[in-house]
Amino acid sequence: MTLSQFVQNATIYASESANVNVYAGNMTLPLGPDPFYNPPSPSPSSSSDAWIWILIVLVIIIALGAAYYFYRRDKMKKEEAKGLVYSMSTEQDNSLLG
């Protein structure tokens, strides 16, 4: 097959309410405002504020993690101490009875 053997077809459907603005002709258009939206460039202060907020959030997360760790550690120590007290008292009671 050669390239000349291929045929391409296209069908374009337009609704009745289609608004078609077509430029046809050989005219020179006057220069006007830029039709493309140019987003404003970010200011340097807004990007420098981002790392401060990230740092604050990280410090809060670390502080909450440390508080939870110490809370659980103290709770485990108290439970362990309760276990020792109860086990010692039962041993003492058994020694008095026996």
Nearest partner of 81 among 73, 69, 71, 91, judged by Cα: 73
pLDDT in tens, the chain (98 residues): 566 676 777 777 767 666 766 666 777 777 888 778 888 876 665 556 788 889 999 999 999 999 999 999 998 888 777 766 565 555 555 555 54
How far is 75 from 81, CA to CA, in rounded Å? 10
Q: Which residue has the tokens 């009671």?
A: 93
Domain boundaries, the chain: 47-91
- pTM value is 0.37
